[in-house]
């Protein structure tokens, strides 16, 4: 990421500045950007400017950002700015206000200066390359949307041939002394918070897909890790609930249900969320728990016995289907069947359709990724079986992850082997993502160091303000073998959520009547049941979850994992739970 120097929290700045900063956020660490600076104008009045950028070549650019079309009324000479004044006059004053102190400082140090240029950034404007003027101003004085999107290329063309009247080191010292004194060299909480807002923006843009498909009431949506399936699912549920429909929101595991329940509750009182187990408990009453059975017994019970009991329940005489619509997330973990299986080709889905007033003709939105299905699960999930069971489904595939920083996308895209190709096939997209810290790789010399190392990493993130406890999770390979060290280590409390999970009380789905009509956001996520603690999950139980920061432990180094299909897929599934911070212990 570029080295940011802030004078105010990014989310408090004008939208025009945030829009320009979003383009700058994908630059590399060789760029230094001061966001917000004071300068003295020609009348001796101190004013505030937007951006000062020093590039890898040492040259400097002064940038003033303006939102909207930024046009001038030719009959009055007034511009569509807040004060109606010519923004290029303001830009000129800012440029002189930056240049003069640089000249004075360079003279005092006995050397020359880098070249200092200035432009007006218009993030909402697109100008044709062959258009020499815009609103009477020369094109070279403007950074329009296309220039911002390819800023590094623009920078090279702009400053190519410009002479640096000092050494690169002297140019750096000049900039640092005036605009970057005491600025940190690493990621800050402001940096990660701003990246979070950009990831949120990418996710919300995906909602436009639902706008385009609003006339279709049955959707089959596939997409890889990080493509925004869960947030689209919640938004679709919210929209149907807003139409006065009672919506069944279905996921697979209890952890994801717990994670999403507060979001659904805030979205609408007409959305009821269940996992497979809690839905069974809600319909049948007491059911057996996996912890009370052997692995073989649990497989038979949850894959065969329980589906049969549920199917009989919803097909019983007098049963009244309670729901108007169904939204399913992580649908690949809910089995379909075959033509000769007891539940028919729809499999478990025949149960879910039986809960809908209009059956398989009801509004349905099913979000899945076959590549993320639990590899050791019995049964199968075949999207074709669902397509054949529904009335008129529309098929849609989401491409390009929207949840990760550029560094995480690059890291995950390199975790390629035959077993993971289907998981990371879309990680080579061109969608501009925000910058963030590089993933950390830590080598343990002995197994007993694992807990202390997890505590050390978490404490560093917390102390630096990069993440709070509830934004961090530790992921380990198997729920049957959680780390023995989980507890309180060096003042950090770790909680194994699988030990806390139990079949949900059906009454837990009684919704809060105070609902939100706006689209869901990640900021509505709960601080978890133990907000002062760090949650620990098995990687399979964490499917569908996301955290700003993930510590991945208990697996060999990737070079060893890629030789074992199960370990390779588990490694990738764990890494894809992180949004910005990832530490791998090996």
What is the spatial distance between Cα 43 and Cα 29, in angstroms, rounded to a whole number?
A: 36
- Percent of the chain past pLDDT 70, that is, above it, reads 90
Query: At 284, which helix (H) or strand (E)?
Result: helix 276-284
- Does residue 357 sit within a domain? yes
What is the spatial distance between Cα 54 and Cα 155, in angstroms, rounded to a whole number?
A: 10
What is the spatial distance between Cα 375 and Cα 385, in angstroms, rounded to a whole number?
A: 20
Q: How many C-beta neighbours within 10 Å does residue 99 have?
A: 17
What is the spatial distance between Cα 305 and Cα 546, in angstroms, rounded to a whole number?
A: 32
Segment 556-561 mean pLDDT:
94
**Same domain flag for 220 and 169:** no
Give the three-state DSSP class for 326.
strand
Question: Which of 184, 215, 248 marks a domain boundary?
Answer: 184
Q: What is the pTM of this model?
A: 0.68
**Same domain flag for 514 and 472:** yes
**Same domain flag for 236 and 170:** no
Segment 237-247 mean pLDDT:
95
What is the spatial distance between Cα 96 and Cα 102, in angstroms, rounded to a whole number?
A: 10
**Same domain flag for 256 and 160:** no
- Does residue 192 sit within a domain? no
What is the spatial distance between Cα 526 and Cα 443, in angstroms, rounded to a whole number?
A: 32
Q: Helix/strand/coil (H, E, C) string of 515-552?
A: CCCCCCCHHHCCCCCCCCCEEEEECCCCCCCCEEEEEE
Segment 497-513 mean pLDDT:
46
pLDDT tens digits, one per residue of 270-294: 999 999 999 999 999 889 887 788 8
pLDDT tens digits, one per residue of 113-140: 999 999 999 999 999 888 999 999 999 9
- Does residue 194 sit within a domain? no
**Same domain flag for 69 and 129:** yes
Say if residue 543's pLDDT is above 70: yes
What is the spatial distance between Cα 365 and Cα 45, in angstroms, rounded to a whole number?
A: 59
pLDDT confidence of residue 521: 53
Contacts of 221 (CB under 8 A, 6+ apart): 229, 232, 365, 366, 367, 368, 396, 397, 398
**Same domain flag for 245 and 125:** no
What is the rounded radius of gyration, in angstroms, for the C-alpha atoms of the chain? Answer: 28
- Does residue 119 sit within a domain? yes
Segment 550-568 mean pLDDT:
94
- Does residue 242 sit within a domain? yes
What is the spatial distance between Cα 356 and Cα 320, in angstroms, rounded to a whole number?
A: 9
Segment 426-433 mean pLDDT:
74
**Same domain flag for 247 and 175:** no
- Percent of the chain past pLDDT 90, that is, above it, reads 54
**Helix orientation angle between 87-109 and 168-179, rounded to the nearest 10 degrees:** 120
**Same domain flag for 250 and 172:** no
pLDDT confidence of residue 199: 64
Contacts of 75 (CB under 8 A, 6+ apart): none
Pairing mode, strands 133-134 and 137-138: antiparallel
What is the spatial distance between Cα 120 and Cα 172, in angstroms, rounded to a whole number?
A: 24
Range of the domain at 460: 199-585
Query: At 234, which helix (H) or strand (E)?
Result: helix 229-242
What is the spatial distance between Cα 249 and Cα 393, in angstroms, rounded to a whole number?
A: 18
Contact present, 192 and 465 (Cβ < 8 Å): no
∠ CA 24-26-30, rounded to 5°: 80
Contact present, 570 and 560 (Cβ < 8 Å): no
Segment 304-329 mean pLDDT:
95
**Same domain flag for 125 and 260:** no
pLDDT confidence of residue 505: 43
Say if residue 437's pLDDT is above 60: yes
pLDDT confidence of residue 520: 57
Query: At 367, which helix (H) or strand (E)?
Result: strand 364-368
Segment 143-159 mean pLDDT:
93
- Does residue 121 sit within a domain? yes
Contact present, 74 and 135 (Cβ < 8 Å): no
- Does residue 99 sit within a domain? yes
- Does residue 193 sit within a domain? no
Segment 412-418 mean pLDDT:
92
**Same domain flag for 217 and 152:** no
**Same domain flag for 170 and 263:** no
**Same domain flag for 302 and 179:** no
Domain count, the chain: 2
Say if residue 195's pLDDT is above 80: no
């Amino acid at each position: 990421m570029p080295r940011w120097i802030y004078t105010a929290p990014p989310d408090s700045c004008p939208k025009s500045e945030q829009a320009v900063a979003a383009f700058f956020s994908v630059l590399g660490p060789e760029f230094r950007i001061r966001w917000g600076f004071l300068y003295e104008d020609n009348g001796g009045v101190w004013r505030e400017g937007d951006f000062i950028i020093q590039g890898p070549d040492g040259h400097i650019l002064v940038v003033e950002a303006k939102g909207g079309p930024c046009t001038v009324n030719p009959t009055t000479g007034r511009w569509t700015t807040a004060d109606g004044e010519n923004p290029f006059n303001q830009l000129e004053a800012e440029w002189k206000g930056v240049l003069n102190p640089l000249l004075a400082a360079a003279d005092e140090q006995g050397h020359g200066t880098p070249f200092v240029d200035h432009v007006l950034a218009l993030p909402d404007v697109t100008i044709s390359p062959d258009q020499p003027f815009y609103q009477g101003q020369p094109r070279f004085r403007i950074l329009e949307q296309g220039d911002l999107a390819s800023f590094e290329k623009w920078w090279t063309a702009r400053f190519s041939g410009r002479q640096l009247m000092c050494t690169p080191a002297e140019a750096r010292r000049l900039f640092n002394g005036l605009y970057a004194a005491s600025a940190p060299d690493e990621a800050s909480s402001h940096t990660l918070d701003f990246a979070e807002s950009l990831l949120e923006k990418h996710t919300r843009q995906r909602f436009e897909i639902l706008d385009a498909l609003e006339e279709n009431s049955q959707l089959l949506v596939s997409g890889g890790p990080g493509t925004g399936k869960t947030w689209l699912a919640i938004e679709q549920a919210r929209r149907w609930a807003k139409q006065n429909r009672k919506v069944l929101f279905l996921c697979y595991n209890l952890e994801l249900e717990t994670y999403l329940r507060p979001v659904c509750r805030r979205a609408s009182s007409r959305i009821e969320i269940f996992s497979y187990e809690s839905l069974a408990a809600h319909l049948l009453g007491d059911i057996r728990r996996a912890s009370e059975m052997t692995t073989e017994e649990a497989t038979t019970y949850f894959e065969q016995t329980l589906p049969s009991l549920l199917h009989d329940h919803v097909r019983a005489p007098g049963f009244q289907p309670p729901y108007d619509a169904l939204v399913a997330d992580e649908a690949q973990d809910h089995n379909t069947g075959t033509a000769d299986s007891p539940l028919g080709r729809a499999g478990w889905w025949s149960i879910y359709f039986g809960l809908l007033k209009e059956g398989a003709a009801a509004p349905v939105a099913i979000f899945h990724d076959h590549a993320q299905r639990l590899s050791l699960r019995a049964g199968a999930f075949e999207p074709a079986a669902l397509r054949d069971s529904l009335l008129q489904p529309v098929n849609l595939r989401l491409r390009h992850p929207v949840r990760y920083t550029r560094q995480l996308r690059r890291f995950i895209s390199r975790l390629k082997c035959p077993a993971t190709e289907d998981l990371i096939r879309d990680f080579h997209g061109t969608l501009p993502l925000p910058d963030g810290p590089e993933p950390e790789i830590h080598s343990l010399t002995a197994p007993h160091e694992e807990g202390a190392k997890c505590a050390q990493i978490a404490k560093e993130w917390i102390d630096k303000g990069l993440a709070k406890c509830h934004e961090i999770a530790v992921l380990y390979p198997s729920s049957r073998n959680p780390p023995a060290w989980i507890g309180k280590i060096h003042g950090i409390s770790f909680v194994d959520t699988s030990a806390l999970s139990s079949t949900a009380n059906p009454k837990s789905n009684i919704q809060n009547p105070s609902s939100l009509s706006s689209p869901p956001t990640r900021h509505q996520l709960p601080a978890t049941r133990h907000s002062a603690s760090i949650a620990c999950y098995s990687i399979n139980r964490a499917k569908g979850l996301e955290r700003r920061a993930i510590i991945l432990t208990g697996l060999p180094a990737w070079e060893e994992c890629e030789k074992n299909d199960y370990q390779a897929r588990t490694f990738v599934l764990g890494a894809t739970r992180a949004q910005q911070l990832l530490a791998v212990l090996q």
